[in-house]
Amino acid sequence: MAQRPTRAIENAFWQRVWPGERNRSDGASATEGSDVATHVTVIESSLPSTGGELRELWRARETALMFAWRDVKVRYKQSLIGIAWAILQPLLSMVVFTIIFGKFAKFPSQGQHYQVFVYTGLLPWIFFSTALTQISNSVLTNRQLVQKVYFPRLILPLSGVLVPAVDFVFANLVLIGLMVWYHIGVGWHVLLAPAFLAILVVTALGVGAMFATVTVRYRDVPYVIPFVVQIWLYLSPVLYASGALPHRWQLVISFNPIVVAITGFRWAVLGTPGPSNLELGAGLPTAIALLLLGFWIYRRWESRFADTI
């Protein structure tokens, strides 16, 4: 059993809290109470510095890879055709879109075969939509770990990028086959394709981090994400070229970072017209702003995840 503190310490404490109250010691001398020094320590929480958090993330890089690789294995575990789903999804979508929008609707394809044109739009789009969905559900999916184990919480959204990256690599095999079949060559600008994919990663991390934060508090948000992705598809130049739109609509969608990413990816691979100065000037700052805003919201609320989830 813990021992009762001395009357002198009690007296010093009460004098500290209520200075006007009488000495609570019964018969203790004033000299004894004045000899006791009191120290009050105030502990306040604060957000970690950016540099410190980056160093912590670097030290936990193996944990991030473990989370990411686990998601890849779970995605295709006990599936019928395994990784082939990564190829079938864009391939079947290409067939449907080519029949509807290429054959019947006669959408312009910037001088390319429509199936090649739409497939080079589907590849980055599926990469982005899968990454956005994975990141948005990352905290809720790992709620058991969040409640019981400490690790840098930013690992969760960052690890959500690996699964779509693996799918993207395998889906590129179909694109290579299409380009060989239609005798389409590539130039030096194909080396810039990863830069446009990086815009997709930045946008997915920013928007996904915001969704992941809100999902912890409101469990019906995951039902909204597929709807947002579906609307975003038609606001992005996957099925059409952004240059084919009227000028006023080009101005509106230029703030969509996906427009820059998909148009730039097509330019890098097929040599079609690249993103305009308007799209670059509006889309790139929007992507960076979404990333900063998403991470700011995520870091502000991550300390409450374990209590709220």
**What's residue 198's pLDDT?**
96
Please determine, for residue 68, whether its predicted confidence score (pLDDT) is greater than 80.
no
Compute the residue count for the chain. 309
**What's residue 32's pLDDT?**
47
Q: What is the pLDDT of residues 161-182, one digit of tens each?
A: 888 998 999 999 999 999 999 9
**What's residue 146's pLDDT?**
76
CA dihedral 39, 42, 43, 46 (to 10 degrees): -140
Q: How far apart are CA 172 and CA 190, in angstroms?
A: 13
Which residue in this structure is represented by tokens 């590849």? 123
**Taking phi first (over 0 means left), then psi (-120 to 50 degrees means alpha), and beta for anything else, what does residue 79 get?**
beta
**Identity of the residue numbered 117:** F
Beta strands in 161-268 (DSSP E): none
Taken in order 256, 259, 262, 268, the sign of the CA dihedral is negative
**What's residue 296's pLDDT?**
92
> Which of 45-49, 132-136, 168-172, 238-242 comes out lowest in average pLDDT?
45-49
Long-range CB contact pairs, 175-184, < 8 A, 24+: 175/116, 175/119, 175/120, 175/123, 175/269, 178/115, 178/116, 178/119, 179/116, 179/269, 182/113, 182/116, 184/112, 184/116, 184/270
Which is more confidently placed, 154 or 194? 194
Does residue 79 sit in helix, strand or coil?
Answer: coil
Which is more confidently placed, 67 or 132? 132
Question: Which distant-in-sequence residues (6+ apart) come within 8 Å of 83 by Cβ?
Answer: 76, 166, 170
**What's residue 22's pLDDT?**
46
- Among 261, 278, 290, CA closest to 193: 261
CB 143 within 8 A of CB 309: yes
Please determine, for residue 26, whether its predicted confidence score (pLDDT) is greater than 90.
no
Please determine, for residue 238, whether its predicted confidence score (pLDDT) is greater than 90.
yes
**Identity of the residue numbered 61:** R
Question: Which distant-in-sequence residues (6+ apart) come within 8 Å of 103 by Cβ?
Answer: 114
Whole-model pTM: value is 0.80
**Region 105-131 average pLDDT:** 93
Structure confidence at residue 29 as a pLDDT band (50, 70, 90): very low
Question: Which distant-in-sequence residues (6+ apart) come within 8 Å of 236 by Cβ?
Answer: 121, 125, 253, 256, 258, 259, 262
> Which of 68-72, 129-133, 232-236 comes out lowest in average pLDDT?
68-72
DSSP codes joined into one string, 120-141: HHHHHHHHHHHHHHHHHTHHHH
Beta strands in 133-198 (DSSP E): none
Please determine, for residue 119, whether its predicted confidence score (pLDDT) is greater than 90.
yes
